[in-house]
Amino acid sequence: MSASDLEQGTEAELLREWTLYRQEIDPAARELLAASDSWDAHDAALLLCGVLVEHLTWLPHGGRVYAAWAELTDLYEVGDTPKDIAHRVLRNAATRWVETPTTPSPRYITDWLIATHADIRETLASQAGQ
């Protein structure tokens, strides 16, 4: 995945996407971070995915962002990833997400996707090695 693959959309589309992220996804990510139970955090991530699905047809980066959040929830549901590790990886992604700049930045989305996918790959590789 390269930056040029992800930096797409017109300025107006990116502003609309950023607005949705700030209004809908950020609160869900904060709810995830506030959850005291790892399954409550997982459920918040599923709700976040639901919001993204409703808007996939027009979000310039929505498909990739949705896929990343879905992969994070899959760590809980598929394979042998211990729940505490799945929870840590999910919280790391949510923490990075809420640190987004206030102005639209396709580069930030790219960086978030790359870091999130790296965390997921490392987690799966460590599980395969055990």
Classify residue 23 as exposed, middle or buried by CB count within 10 Å of its CB (0-12, 13-18, 19+).
exposed
Residue 126 pLDDT grade (very low, low, confident, very high; cuts 50, 70, 90): confident
How much is the average pLDDT of 73-97?
94
> Residue 78: left if φ>0, alpha if ψ -120 to 50, beta else—which one?
beta
Tracing tokens 């790892």 back to the chain, one arrives at 38
Tell me the angle at which helices 26-34 and 38-54 cross, rounded to the nearest 10 degrees.
Answer: 170
Task: List, for residues 14-69, the tens digit of each pLDDT value.
Answer: 999 999 999 999 999 999 999 999 999 999 999 999 999 999 999 999 999 999 99
Task: Answer whether 127's CB lies under 8 Å from 80's CB.
Answer: yes
Euclidean distance between CA atoms 109 and 88, whole angstroms: 20
